[in-house]
């Protein structure tokens, strides 16, 4: 990875961190200042690998995006937050790793594509995305989450962390917009690949040494991660379109659109946080979001595998002479 790609990599790393640490709310208030240094290095390594895989394997569609986001989530669960990711196997593997974190990783990559490209079609959906994600974030962090064993966070604290994260993203986006990065710049050289893997390996080793990881999460994530990588490798090609086409150098939205998106996001979050306690069929909004995370975690990998498998079979059949 060349120097011009650093700004783009930092932007994606900040998005991944914002999704996993703030939107999923990993209780960032409970982290010591020095705890953020290995986390920052880990998210930067994950972002560098994610961009490298998009360019290297020519990832080009929703199925590739979901698979790559799942692989990033599995790696992040092992190397960055194993304490919460594997607190109650196999439940939290489905609800948190393959569910909440994988979904947020996919959403943050999607937001990265919206912020760096000039697609009118995608930017028209930005407002709806801000409303849905903001509402879910507010409900997820609302006081009734304490009934499920989650730490209570006040609305001003939540908004402060959210505003700080958004401000950082805007600054990084402006820096990335001034870069002259090309897609080929994102492919990591051998030394860069070894460096990213070394950072993640060191974080993983530290968690193993302090006893935060047992054999079961290592086996589960290794199997699922290998499957995700195999899908990306199998669908990879030397040339062709990718998700990053038309997005490098970045072409960020105008100031007015960014302000409107921020207003919608924080407005929806405030509304969701202040919703009165109610149930529909015995399900609270908080549990509804949790069920959504679980459903996504259980469905996306089998769904991707099934669709790609059926598509490959049909292509093979159509190539044969009747």
- The residues that bridge with 283 in the sheet, in sequence order, are 280
Name the maximum alpha-carbon separation found in the chain: 67
Tokens linked to 124:
């028209």
Per-residue pLDDT of the chain (322 residues; tens, 9 = 90+): 555 589 999 999 999 999 999 999 888 888 888 989 999 999 999 999 999 999 999 999 999 999 999 999 999 999 999 998 998 888 999 999 999 999 999 999 999 999 998 777 777 788 899 999 999 999 998 876 655 556 678 999 999 999 999 999 999 999 999 988 888 889 999 999 999 999 999 999 999 999 888 889 999 999 999 999 999 999 998 888 999 998 988 999 889 999 999 999 999 999 999 988 778 877 888 889 999 999 999 999 999 999 988 887 777 777 765 4
CA-angle at 217, arms to 213 and 218, nearest 5°: 80
> Residue 80 gets which letter from DSSP?
T
In this structure, are residues 136 and 272 in contact, taking their beta carbons and an 8 Å threshold? yes
**Among candidate residues 69, 68, 102, 64, the one with its CA nearest the CA of residue 85:** 102
The pLDDT value recorded for residue 88 is 87
| Distance in Å from the first CA to the final CA of the chain | 48
> pTM value?
0.94
pLDDT digits (tens, 9 = 90+) for 23-66: 998 888 888 889 899 999 999 999 999 999 999 999 999 999 99
> Residue 152 gets which letter from DSSP?
P
Tokens linked to 238:
């030397």
**Among candidate residues 57, 118, 125, the one with its CA nearest the CA of residue 248:** 118
3-class state of residue 291 by DSSP: helix
Residue 284 falls in which region: left (phi positive, over 0), alpha (psi -120 to 50) or beta: beta
Alpha helix (H) ranges present in 190-254? Answer: 190-209, 215-235
Tokens linked to 294:
């679980």
The angle that helices 285-319 and 102-116 make with each other, rounded to 10 degrees, is 70
The pLDDT value recorded for residue 60 is 93
The pLDDT value recorded for residue 184 is 86
Burial-class residue 271 by CB neighbours within 10 Å (0-12, 13-18, 19+): middle
How far is Cα of residue 50 from the mean position of the Cα atoms in its chain? 10
**Percent of the chain at pLDDT exceeding 90:** 67
């Amino acid at each position: 990875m060349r120097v011009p790609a650093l700004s783009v990599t930092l932007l994606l790393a900040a998005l991944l961190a914002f999704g996993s640490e703030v939107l999923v709310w990993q209780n960032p208030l409970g982290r010591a200042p020095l705890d953020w240094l290995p986390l920052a290095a880990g998210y930067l390594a994950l972002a560098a690998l994610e961009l490298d895989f998009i360019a290297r394997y020519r990832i080009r569609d929703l199925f590739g995006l979901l698979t790559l986001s799942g692989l990033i989530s599995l790696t992040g669960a092992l190397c960055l937050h194993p304490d919460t990711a594997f607190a109650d196997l196999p439940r939290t593997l489905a609800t948190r790793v393959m569910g909440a974190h994988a979904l947020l990783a996919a959403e943050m990559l999607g937001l990265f594509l919206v912020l760096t490209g000039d697609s009118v079609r995608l930017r028209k959906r930005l407002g709806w995305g801000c409303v849905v994600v903001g509402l879910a974030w507010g409900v997820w962090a609302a006081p009734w989450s304490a009934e499920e064993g989650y730490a209570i966070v006040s609305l001003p604290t939540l908004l402060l962390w959210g505003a700080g994260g958004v401000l950082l993203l805007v600054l990084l986006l402006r820096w990335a917009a001034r870069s002259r990065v090309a897609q080929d710049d994102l492919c990591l050289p051998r030394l860069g690949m070894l460096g990213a893997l070394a950072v993640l390996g060191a974080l993983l080793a530290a968690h193993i040494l302090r006893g935060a990881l047992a054999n079961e999460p290592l086996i589960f994530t290794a199997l699922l991660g290998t499957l995700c990588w195999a899908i990306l490798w199998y669908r990879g090609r030397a040339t062709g379109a990718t998700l990053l086409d038309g997005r490098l150098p970045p072409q960020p939205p105008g100031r007015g659109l960014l302000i409107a998106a921020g207003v919608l996001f924080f407005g929806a979050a405030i509304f969701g946080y202040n919703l009165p306690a109610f149930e529909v069929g015995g399900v609270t909004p908080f549990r509804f979001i949790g069920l959504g995370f679980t459903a996504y975690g259980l469905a996306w990998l089998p769904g991707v595998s099934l669709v790609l498998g059926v598509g490959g079979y049909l292509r093979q059949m159509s190539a044969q002479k009747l």
